[in-house]
Amino acid sequence: MSLEKTGHESVEAMIAEKIKLEGDIAFEDFMSISLYTKGLGYYLNKKKKTGKSGDFYTSVSVGSAFGSLLAEFFRRFKEHMANPKPFLMVEQGANDGELANDILRYFQQVGELSEVEYWIVEPSSSLQHHQKEQLQKYGFVDQVKWYSCFEEIEDNSIQGVFFSNELVDSFPVKLVVYRHGQWMEKRVTRVDGSFKFKETTLRDLSTLEYIKRWKLPAIEGYQGEVCLGVRRWVKQVASKIKEGLFLTIDYGSKAESLYAPGRGHGTIRAYRNHQQKDELLSYAGEQDLTAHVNFSQIIEEGKASGLEFQDYRDQHQALITMAKHRLLKMETSGGPIDQKFLRQFKTLTHPEIMGSQFKFLSMVK
């Protein structure tokens, strides 16, 4: 997902011009322009996003342990398949390419690099260039193919794994609020040089159907997010998988928890300089905007697209299962303990750090 850069010098100027020409806009559009405008949007500009000098930490930025555990899991899945050659690993939302590097390094270490192929779905040409530079440093660039969109990939061509890590939380969302006996949409307007929210009667049938399907509470003042892009995304991904695993890792929950009556303020948040911000409409293009994922929606759309539900669990449960063989070998081998791996593993699995924050959802075809 990327939007063409125009002659504007900033995202704020782009949005201001759009509002001037069209009137108030959906928050979904505000979020899309803020995050995905080519060269200017938050995800497509040159600012570093993750790690100490970025705006937030990810499991990948903790170290190579996360990627090596995923790779080990993929390898075991590969062994249960009819030994496809090559075994494909398709990543969407590859950011700086570090996860791809960690996964390919693992397959190199176990002597199976020639048996696998890595695809990255990345619409941004600048991010593709950066990923290629990073993977070139480690000698893996020839192992990777890039696609700018799913339309470039043939249907039923993937035998292996499709996966994403912290991708769906960045899909643009509509903001809805229950006010005076009806659902309203929170749209964005411009007042005295600043972006402000404006509530209007919600008339979009798809959004109203979503609210009804996932039982958003009709409680005065209750606010929630509606992500309509998930349906098309799941359907598109499923159509490309001939045989294999669909894995998405993100923060969120199932609908009954996500839209519980006690969560009336919604989950949409802004992040900047490792701080959570409440000013969603400030710093357009300069801060991350993200909302928790409705995993119930992904599961339902997956089943409708021919995927079979396999597992849904917290990151600490998933990674402990993935690491079981490695930890047992480390304990019984009598050799030196990999302290670096253990430190990273504890951070990734600690319930109060990352362990319960992220969820693993897997489906198969």
Residue with tokens 């509530």: 199
Closest by CA to 33, choosing from 45, 47, 50, 48, is 45
- Spatial separation of the C-alpha atoms in residues 118 and 97, rounded to whole Å: 11
Q: Is 311 left (phi over 0), alpha (psi -120 to 50) or beta?
A: beta
Range with lowest mean pLDDT among 43-52, 94-103, 131-140, 344-353 = 43-52
Write out the two tokens for 364: 């198969």
Predicted TM-score of the model (pTM): 0.93
pLDDT of residue 7: 52
pLDDT of residue 55: 62
pLDDT of residue 247: 98
pLDDT of residue 252: 97
Residue 26's φ and ψ, nearest 5 degrees, are -65, 145
Percent of the chain with pLDDT over 90: 81
Q: What is the mean pLDDT of residues 164-182?
A: 97
pLDDT, mean over the chain: 93
Give residue 60's identity as a one-letter amino acid code.
V
b/e string for 133-171 if b means 16 or more Cβ within 10 A? ebbeebebbebbebbeebeebeeeebbbbbbbbbbbbbb
Confidence of residue 199 (pLDDT cuts 50, 70, 90): very high
pLDDT of residue 169: 97
pLDDT of residue 168: 98
Residue 23 confidence (pLDDT) above 90? yes
Confidence of residue 196 (pLDDT cuts 50, 70, 90): very high
pLDDT digits over 265-323, tens only?
999 999 988 788 779 999 999 999 999 999 999 999 999 999 999 999 999 999 999 99
Percent of the chain with pLDDT over 70: 95
Write out the two tokens for 32: 């899309």
> Number of helices (H) and strands (E), helices first, in the chain?
12, 16
Q: What is the mean pLDDT of residues 140-167?
A: 96
Residue 154 confidence (pLDDT) above 90? yes
Element of type H or E holding 93: none
pLDDT of residue 293: 98
- Spatial separation of the C-alpha atoms in residues 177 and 27, rounded to whole Å: 13
Contact assessment for residue 280 and residue 295, using Cβ atoms and an 8 Å cutoff? no
Residue 80 confidence (pLDDT) above 80? yes
Alpha helices in the chain (DSSP H): 11-22, 27-36, 59-62, 65-80, 98-109, 125-137, 205-213, 229-240, 255-258, 295-304, 315-332, 339-349
pLDDT digits over 120-150, tens only?
999 988 899 999 999 999 899 999 999 999 9
